Structure 1
């Protein structure tokens, strides 16, 4: 089964095909981007349907139909739970909106999610209760927490000691330290209490160690990827590009472009690279600078999900990512600085066309034995298959 193409790549190919010159046919564009002609024709057909230029069911219509079907099934299940429904009416626990009811309906085929939503209880406490039944101590503490909360709601200016006195008047026996612990865990402080100072923002993810040490070589594919961000001005505003290069063949295996420099652009570029390389990326090192986009929690979670390793150069040291800087230098001279760009769309088409048509398939590189990145990958892959 062929690997899927990232959505951003498909959209860019459609843009190039729609904006082609009169002397350029679709077969030539398909060849330049390394896809089959029928694949390109299919993408154009789907794009015309989405834009209303051709009759057919759009992706939105299909998604709405599936959502409606799921909603109908959910309503049918909720009808079984609600009073008057078959399961609820025949249940021995009818009228008890509690965990035993949820467990009984789950045994009859009603999903726990549906029952909890109808009877308005949370799923997490239900599952915790199944795993660890409530002890007598927890039951007593829950009653104490309720009493402290009621006292705090009635008199929010009271500190934990006054709240403890109110709870004792209700007949509960406990120590002041217990009341402090419960109030501290739930944030039930006096409105006149001292304001806490400190940062209001979350602490960013720590930087990775430099696992590359300026050794920009890779003996095999998907062992070392380099990434960086660049930007260029158009009359509409700036366009930001995040690209990922495999040092084994110097091929740009993933990219993402956006009008905003946020962490999502780095995440999208990484997901695009993983999709195009067939998801065989476990253990691959992703080397970057220490920009906030690469230190974001979203990107760290994406690396962890794909079992990849992060690597970062030193602050203000461009040489620690020189191999990626060289690619952006080529892009700057060959595309970005060639003319004044009116729109982001125009610049986007120029960038993706240069990468896929020129850099990947026409520009020969000395480090690859005067081969293009695509030629190098084909030859080396065939050689590895013959050895195996």
Structure 2
């Protein structure tokens, strides 16, 4: 209980300071509060109105990576896509060597994730629900899985199948081979992420979340956006993973939130969600803002090993920014010279996403567009375009 209390105190600090200083206002317009629908209730551990500075730049289309946004229903595959991997419980156990700890990839909101080798040679990830989640999901597991199976986006981990047998519930997903974003920020995989890679990863994540909020057949709020839930491919493309905490919207006009017991990860949790139990897509936006600060600084959102004034990264970063010490926030692992203007633009966007009240946050589509505009400026300033 201490950690959430600490976060609320920090959020109060940011709330007082949030409007005290905004830099780089040469690229701002006003964005209206989103009217998108929010999600349905769930269990566990978290408005107002206003306007916010946002980039007016017309973002040029990506030549390669950002296809035009689909219509709300146009990209959903047929339901039979969920049958792309059929496994029995016995086959799943064999593929994971009886859920061997040696094949464990990590822990997620849904349960434990294992690397699995199928008989046809394919490698997949199998997520085994914890007993707590297995019991809670008994009535809704299959219907929600069928909906998640229709998600198709290059920046979202694909669901390939599931097992629902007795007390066991498994999710079979694509295997993403290059570890988590957090591991790369920690240097676990050797080389450090350079600034360009961090910018591209941020754009990938924003596009994945935008798809969930706007273009899935039913609106999906991820609810646990964090660096350990971002997987990287061999080509350093980012994929958002772990929909174990995700909630589905009902798409009814006029619905702006859902009451739900708080679930998520300390450090990334939307303070307004914690206070009101009202979940909206802006809760994901807040988490993304915290994640963006993490990407830029390399620091975890909460680090109890640091001094009290540096323990909560978003509070420490905002204080530095307010004192004109922004470039002190650059991850020291990046040995390159980082463009100060570009860095500050990304940091300003991160702070806007992590505003204490959701009305002061942009929606994910605006965030993705602004990041793309920053990318265009970065490439021009670096002489790469």
Give the structure-1-normalised TM-score.
0.25
Q: Which has the higher helix share?
A: 1
Structure number with greater CO (CA < 8 Å, separation at least 6) is: 2
Q: Which has the higher strand share?
A: 2
Give the structure-2-normalised TM-score.
0.25
Larger radius of gyration: 1
